[in-house]
Amino acid sequence: MTAVAAPGRRLLDGRDYKTLALSALGGALEFYDFIIFVFFVTVLGHLFFPPEIPEWVQQLQAFGIFAAGYLARPLGGLVMAHFGDKLGRKRMFTLSILLMALSTLGIAVLPTYASIGIAAPILLLTMRVLQGAAIGGEVPGAWTFVSEHVPVHRIGLACGILTCGLTAGILLGSLIATAVNVVFTPDEVMAYGWRIPFALGGVFGLVAVYLRRWLDETPVFRELKAAKALSAGLPLGEVLRAHKGATILSMLLTWMLSGAIVVAILMTPTLLQTLYKIPAGEALTANSIATLFLTVGCVLAGLTVDRIGAGRFFTFGSVFLGAATFYFYSSVASDASSLFLLSALAGFSVGVIGAVPYVLVKAFPPAVRFTGVSFAYNIAYAIFGGLTPLLVTVALKSDPMAHAHYLVFLSVMGVGIGLYLWAKDRH
């Protein structure tokens, strides 16, 4: 893999901690903005579509708009990555969160179908597409940004802390959505309460934009610019022409990352209720615990991969992921008395994904790093993040443990990737 041309220090200093703190905070708030939509899909379906159509059609259309954000990720990510490799990481890093803040505020103030008719869902779709474009640039941009600021021996820790921030945004969204539904009655949520989480997200985003003005351009990009070593042509063209192996490797790891998050975190509350008859309150509490331990796992994964390398880490870490999640589902199926403890273990094991960006940012040379990471990550996430719920849902009809078996499959793939990287490092 291509080394990251980071500063020649071994330890983090005050500037690194400032960069990591502001980047992780901004990433958490931006991920909150992107994910809060899903917690209010039912309400949005009622408010933004004709009242005379069946409720399930309203919900399906609202979920369609939610999915549009994922489809917009690759295009937005590639556009921002192109200019990130040409004009600078910081500019695009700031632009992504500004775009997210404005589009989230836009949703908060949108008139409903009752006020403007068919224009309401069209405007909602527009705002959601802008959210998708923003998050497509944020995640790979953030990984690239922090990895080029910190010492080369701390890239894993830096990316792990940043990924911890991103997953914390999911937890924040869940907690605020729960609070809104506890504080307000269903009629109040329908009337105005649903706007509060989006308004908060927009304000959070604007605060993050302000904070990011204190960040500096990465030393790596400044050196490339000074040496006139920036990509002369189209960065994406160079990635596809000269870095096919790195792209495939990065896409496979993103598949592992997206599949683990989608099944073990996003789908599990529903699975616990439908398959194992666990009450909604307990299922959501267990999921919050799993997400909390996921954030801890991401940091420890980054710290560990710096010490032992990607090959060893993914070889053993993937075994842990498969074993812990399979034990969780199989145990809960027979006895749910240890649900919270097992959720913590399963969530912690998913933290293995915190080491994925370590491999991605090292796989591409600095001149096209932003584009390479963005292309591989966003394309793979759009495909596998979108198909995973469908595949698992269909498979459950014939295999009651399809969700667990899918995670085991991803873990086996992770072991294979780990062995490949281990062998490559030894040569």
Transcribe 151-202 into DSSP letters: -GGGHHHHHHHHHHHHHHHHHHHHHHHHHHHHHS-HHHIIIIITHHHHHHHH
Q: Tell me if 253 sits within 8 A of 360, measured CB to CB.
A: yes
What is the token pair recorded at 321?
């992921």
CATH level 3 topology of 14-230 = Growth Hormone; Chain: A; (1.20.1250)
CA–centroid distance for 222 within its chain: 28
Rg value, the chain, Cα: 21
Rounded Cα–Cα distance for residues 19 and 144 (Å): 12
pLDDT at 9: 55
Q: Identify the burial level of 422 via C-beta atoms within 10 angstroms of its C-beta, where 0-12 means exposed, 13-18 middle and 19 or more buried.
A: middle
C-beta atoms surrounding 125 within 10 Å: 16
For residue 43, how many other CB atoms are within 10 A of its CB?
Answer: 18
d(C-alpha 349, C-alpha 340), whole Å: 14
Q: Which amino acid is at 313?
A: F
Q: Which residues of the chain have pLDDT under 70?
A: 1-14, 59, 427
Does 14-230 match 233-427 in CATH topology?
yes
So what's the pLDDT on residue 12? 62
Q: Strand, coil or helix: what is 120?
A: helix
Return the number of other C-beta atoms located less than 10 Å from residue 183's C-beta: 11
CA distance 46 to 48: 6
What is the Cα–Cα distance from 329 to 350, expressed in whole angstroms? 14
* pLDDT per residue as tens digits for the range 204-250: 889 888 887 888 888 888 888 888 878 778 899 999 999 999 999 99
Give dist(CA 246, CA 380) in Å, integer.
13
Region of 323 please: left (phi>0), alpha (psi -120 to 50) or beta: alpha
- Torsion of Cα atoms, 50 then 51 then 57 then 59, to 10°: 100
Where do the structural domains in the chain lie, given as residue ranges?
14-230, 233-427
Which residue shows structure tokens 């790891």? 253
CA distance 24 to 44: 29
- Given this model, what pLDDT does residue 252 score? 98
- Between CA 364 and CA 382 the distance in angstroms is 21
> Cβ of 14: how many Cβ atoms within 10 Å?
7
Looking at residue 3, its pLDDT comes to 47
Q: Is CATH 1.10.510.10 what the domain over 233-427 is classified as, yes or no? A: no
pLDDT at 111: 96
Distance CA 223, CA 88 (A): 11
- pTM, two decimals, is 0.88
**Among residues 157, 139, 155, 164, which one has the least CA distance to residue 298?**
164
3-state secondary structure of 89: helix
